[in-house]
Amino acid sequence: MSHFPALEIPDTLAAGPGPGNTDPRVLQRLCHTGVADHMQADVLRGMVECKQMLRQVFGTDNAYTFGVGGTGFSGLDCALSMILPGDTVVAFVNGTFSGLDALTIRMKAATREELAADPLDPQPAGVTVVQVPHGQSVSGEVVEAALAEHRPMWAFLAHWETGSGRINDLQGFNDACAKHGAMGIVDAVSSLGVADFRIDDYPAVVAWASCPQKGVLCLPLTYAPVSFSDQAIALLGQRGCHTYVHHPILEARHWGIVNGQDVAAGTYHRTHSAYAVAALHEALRILLAHGVAQKAADYAYHERALREAVTAMGCEVTSNMTSLVVLNLPARLAGLEKALVGACRAEGFGIWPTLSEPVQVRIGILNQLTQTAVTEIVSRFADAMLQMGAAFDKPAVLDALGQYYALPETPQAAVA
């Protein structure tokens, strides 16, 4: 039998697309939480309060708003479980994550025969995947044309595609869904807690799924926020779905949501962790104290600082998200993206390459909303580029960054 020493994991600078650096207050709540089971009164009260805070973060009156234990894809699995074999779906894909969402959709919409024909990559007749090239956004026109042609029961969009760093047209998606009678499902994993939007302004979207580790900043594996409209829940009530654990109606009961009404405390669905509940509760308190709108403005302000600095180093930014820049290296470093990222990661500076072609570099600022933090990221990235043979004047880049921060802050809207 092997005997391992205690696992030590160092502190790193998580400067990628996510996970973001968890706030120390969240970790403190996690380890200051006493030993208590999942039906203890304060744990249940914490879940009810989290549910209420999630409604504020989402900007919704949807009763069915709660957390799904697990990661972003757990929440997406819950939302996409509404899709049954044989349903018609149009899914828009412009990067890694919407591609994986489309795979989930194809698995759920496949008939038994279609699944058996290619179990890991089924191609059901009812699902149309509209591919938009990496680096481009899904436009309202593309959605309108596809929904007009296919008239599906469901339509799917990733609001912010983290793989390519692109913001997709949520308003256009909502409008096309309303016009063509499709029920919209949105992956809001990367936008919730970073962008300023209210889901109730998009009534044709009947289900939303986000994650614990990006804008909500609660990595100690907690909950993927989800929200369902009454229309979605009514349909589920009629048709059901093929899951117990991710069944939106059953899972909601533990959060004190029964028959569309809030009840004082939840009833058992599965064994929730007091530590996870306490951590999420603290993360949501921090987010709401900062304010969703203020946070969005802060991300836009600091993303612009990072964008201008890497541009001054000769990189070309192709993203328009405000938590992340996705860039091409200057021509003389082309092809060295993975080596550069690897060298940074070996030093505890956690940036990322793209996970699907073309290979680009991704640098994120989740929970790095200070001049000091952005300057540290710029400085470390500059050092790594210079070591790889880039030619630029680092003091001049840092000087320009200092000047940006010395100017009075002007509100920046995210580039559409």
Ligand X SMILES: *Cc1c(COP(=O)(O)O)cnc(C)c1O
Contact residues toward ligand X (CB under 6 A) are 18, 71-73, 97, 158, 162, 187, 189-190, 211, 213
Cα(343)–Cα(65) distance, integer angstroms: 42
Closest CA to 173 of 152, 192, 196, 190: 152
Task: Give the residue with the Cβ less far from ligand X, 273 or 323.
Answer: 323
Task: Give the residue with the Cβ less far from ligand X, 79 or 286.
Answer: 79
| 3-state SS, residue 188 | coil
Nearest residue to ligand X, scored by beta-carbon proximity: 72
**What is the closest distance, in whole angstroms, from the C-beta atom of residue 80 to ligand X in the complex?**
11
Packing angle of the helix pair 371-387, 292-312 (nearest 10 deg): 30
Task: Give the residue with the Cβ less far from ligand X, 406 or 416.
Answer: 416
Closest CA to 131 of 154, 110, 161, 107: 161
Cα(146)–Cα(150) distance, integer angstroms: 6
**What is the closest distance, in whole angstroms, from the C-beta atom of residue 156 to ligand X in the complex?**
11
Task: Give the residue with the Cβ less far from ligand X, 44 or 74.
Answer: 74
Q: Which two tokens stand for residue 196?
A: 């300023």
**What is the closest distance, in whole angstroms, from the C-beta atom of residue 214 to ligand X in the complex?**
6
Torsion of CA 166, 167, 169, 173, to 10 degrees: 90
**What is the closest distance, in whole angstroms, from the C-beta atom of residue 105 to ligand X in the complex?**
13
**What is the closest distance, in whole angstroms, from the C-beta atom of residue 325 to ligand X in the complex?**
15
Number of Cβ within 10 Å of residue 106's Cβ equals: 22
Cβ pair 207, 227 in contact under 8 A: yes
CA-atom Rg of the chain in angstroms: 22
Task: Give the residue with the Cβ less far from ligand X, 105 or 312.
Answer: 105
**What is the closest distance, in whole angstroms, from the C-beta atom of residue 169 to ligand X in the complex?**
15
Task: Give the residue with the Cβ less far from ligand X, 189 or 277.
Answer: 189
